[in-house]
């Protein structure tokens, strides 16, 4: 992934009215008026519109369904919390190895959100459906996603052995790219920590993938320490 674009993960704001939950780290860019979220082999193009015409959500959905390509297949539709979620698959001509795309929409009284998912592996369609179903008006987990791209130290027990973070503390950053955060599984011995090969530098978004529960605490100031007490992270 290019370092020229920020990482995003967890629930992020798309507009003032829409947010989305990303279970894995993606990069973000704006292109041709669309928001684009991507990781290798998986890309989402997003657009949002208001409902200036005052149409009902049923009529909005009907319009998009009727004007879609006649080649569409595997249509899905359901309603939740006053929103209609609608999607279909469509095979598009391309020079790469992508499988049929998932074109997905969410309609509400305030307007509609369109998500176009492109992926190389058919198994990723379930991830696409999960992300589509997460679209709502809920607030983003953090007001600013810039922290996800900052760097941190995490041990191999977390990043290679996939153990969860149970202890985290924040130092004064070493430089502009450093967040100051240091993450541990709680099982590291002093000898293990003293070996520099056992601790590496990562974007915080990568650590969030192992332990999403750290996200609400990422904006805590330098000097903060948190420990998992079996249910949640608490200050120590």
- 16 CB-near residues (< 8 Å, 6+ apart): none
**DSSP-derived secondary structure letter, 162:** -
Q: Please state the separation of Cα 227 from the chain's center in Å.
A: 24
Please state, in angstroms and rounded to a whole number, the distance separating the CA atoms of residues 99 and 26. 20
Q: What is the pLDDT of residue 55?
A: 81
Q: What is the pLDDT of residue 2?
A: 40
Contact assessment for residue 124 and residue 97, using Cβ atoms and an 8 Å cutoff:
no
- 144 CB-near residues (< 8 Å, 6+ apart): 219
Please state, in angstroms and rounded to a whole number, the distance separating the CA atoms of residues 105 and 171. 43
Q: Does the structure show a pLDDT above 90 at 54?
A: no
Domains and CATH numbers, the chain: 7-134 (3.40.1000), 150-235 (no CATH)
- Token pair recorded at residue 18: 């829409």
> Which band of pLDDT confidence, cut at 50, 70 and 90, is reported for residue 225?
very high
For strand 151-155 and strand 178-184, is the pairing parallel, antiparallel, or unpaired?
Answer: parallel
For 93, phi and psi rounded to 5 degrees? -70, 135
Please state, in angstroms and rounded to a whole number, the distance separating the CA atoms of residues 144 and 18. 15
Quick: pLDDT tens for 156-204. 999 999 999 999 999 999 899 999 999 999 999 999 999 999 999 999 9
Location of structure tokens 């190895």: 97
Please state, in angstroms and rounded to a whole number, the distance separating the CA atoms of residues 136 and 138. 6
Residue 76 to residues 58, 87, 132, 143, 229: CA-CA distances in angstroms?
A: 14, 5, 11, 32, 41
Quick: pLDDT tens for 8-50. 999 999 999 999 999 999 999 999 999 999 999 999 999 999 8
Q: What is the pLDDT of residue 3?
A: 56
Quick: pLDDT tens for 99-132. 999 999 999 988 899 999 999 999 999 999 999 9
What is the model's pTM?
0.91
């Amino acid at each position: 992934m290019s370092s020229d674009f920020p990482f995003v993960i967890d629930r992020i704001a798309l507009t003032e009215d829409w947010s989305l939950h990303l279970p894995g780290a993606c990069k973000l860019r704006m292109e041709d008026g669309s928001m684009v979220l991507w990781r290798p082999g998986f890309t989402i193009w997003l657009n949002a519109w208001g409902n200036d015409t005052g149409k009902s959500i049923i009529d909005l959905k009907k319009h998009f369904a009727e004007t879609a390509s006649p080649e569409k297949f595997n249509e899905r539709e359901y309603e939740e919390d006053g929103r209609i979620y609608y999607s279909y698959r469509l095979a598009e001509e391309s020079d790469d190895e992508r499988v049929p795309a998932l074109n997905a929409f969410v309609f509400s009284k305030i307007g509609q959100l369109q998500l176009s998912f492109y992926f190389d592996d058919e198994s990723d369609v379930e991830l696409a459906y999960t992300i589509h179903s997460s679209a709502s008006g809920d607030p983003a987990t953090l007001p600013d996603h810039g922290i996800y791209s900052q760097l941190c130290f995490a041990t191999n027990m977390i990043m290679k052995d996939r153990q969860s973070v149970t202890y985290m503390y924040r130092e004064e950053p070493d430089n502009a790219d450093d967040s100051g955060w240091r993450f541990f599984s709680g099982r590291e011995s002093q000898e293990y920590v003293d070996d520099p090969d056992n601790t590496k530098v990562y974007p915080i978004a990568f650590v969030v993938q192992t332990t999403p529960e750290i996200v609400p605490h990422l904006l805590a100031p330098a000097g903060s320490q948190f420990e998992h007490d079996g249910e949640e992270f608490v200050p120590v």
